[in-house]
Structure 1
Amino acid sequence: MNKSMMAILVASGLMLSAPVMAQPAQPSLYQQLGGKDNIRSLMDDFVQRLKADSRIGEQFKNTDAARLASQLTDQVCEATGGPCKYVGLDMKAAHAGMNITKAHFNALVEVLQASMNAKGVPFDKQLEILSMLAPMHRDVITVR
């Protein structure tokens, strides 16, 4: 084996055995949103807007706003990597018999976006939240 081949093998061996520098951990979406208090503030705003929305407010007129905001907070907190645990009904059971259409669901998403804008949630974080919640439409929409 010639010296240049030996040098390549030694260099390769050193490269393989060199420690890999750990990348700093990316903060969870929960952390990026500012934690549970900020999520609760967002959900309080969201529920108030839902109740006032002309397209879907009627569906929320008898809803206990504080309880709904609390459940949504736990749900979003858990989904974004926070320490919360949502213990409410699954989405199919929670929305059974409510006659929710795709238009209702889309209106709810628009209201959530308005709340996120009002609370200064950056657009890329809004997209992350919406992409995590979007699969729920299969269980929330009850009128096809």
Structure 2
Amino acid sequence: MNRLAFALPMLLLAACATTPRISLYEQFGGQAGVEALVEELLVRILEDERINAGFVETDLVNLNDRLVEQICVELGGPCTYTGRSMAESHAGLGITEADFNALVEDLQDAMDARGIPFRAQNQLLRRLAPMHRDIVSP
């Protein structure tokens, strides 16, 4: 067997084994990336006529801070979420499936605008999906 034919695959395997894996948090740009994403998301929410009326009475500074914490935690970043549970935060708000879907669309558009890789977007959405039951009114 040709030594080169044997050595090349071994070199490629060794290179793959030593390539550092980029965390999901890093794929989103770390803390600065999460903060920029949340800012982009909030702008989109406030411009979205389907759901912006639901945010008129909202403390946007607090919402921004809690979203940054929450997304950071979901991405595996070095953060702690200090807000209320999703059930407590959304109780009595009458959020519909359409409202929820509109916000998810705004989040996807914000991630696209920030250049976040599609696979990383899906990983975040998969981590956030279980919150649906605590957000949407029955």
CA distance in 1, matches of 2:128, 2:62: 19
Q: What is the CA deviation profile of residues 111-138 of structure 1, one whole-angstrom value per residue up to 9, with x for unaligned ones?
A: 1011111111111111111111011000
Q: Which of 81, 84, 87 is the equivalent residue of 2:79?
A: 84
CA distance in 2, matches of 1:67, 1:92: 17
Structure 1 length normalisation: TM-score? 0.79
Structure 2 length normalisation: TM-score? 0.83
Three-state SS of the structure 2 residue aligned to 1:50 is helix
Shift of 1:62: 2.3
Larger CA deviation: 55-64 vs 81-90 = 55-64
> Once superposed, what is the RMSD of the aligned Cα atoms?
1.4
CA distance in 2, matches of 1:47, 1:73: 11
- Look up the match of 2:112: 117
Matching of residues 63-74 of structure 1 within 5 Å: 63-74=58-69
Query: Which structure exhibits the higher relative contact order, with contacts defined as CA atoms closer than 8 Å and separated by 6 or more residues?
Result: 2
Contact 1:40 1:73 in 2 (8 A): yes
Matching of residues 1-144 of structure 1 within 5 Å: 26-142=21-137, 144=138
Q: Which runs of 5+ in 1 are unaligned?
A: 1-21
Shift of 1:26: 2.5
- Look up the match of 2:6: none
CA distance in 2, matches of 1:140, 1:44: 21
Q: What letter is aligned with 2:106?
A: V
Aligned length: 122
Q: What is the CA deviation profile of residues 2-46 of structure 1, one whole-angstrom value per residue up to 9, with x for unaligned ones?
A: xxxxxxxxxxxxxxxxxxxx7655332111211011100100110
- Look up the match of 2:14: none
Identity across the alignment (%): 44
Shift of 1:82: 0.5
Three-state SS of the structure 2 residue aligned to 1:63 is coil
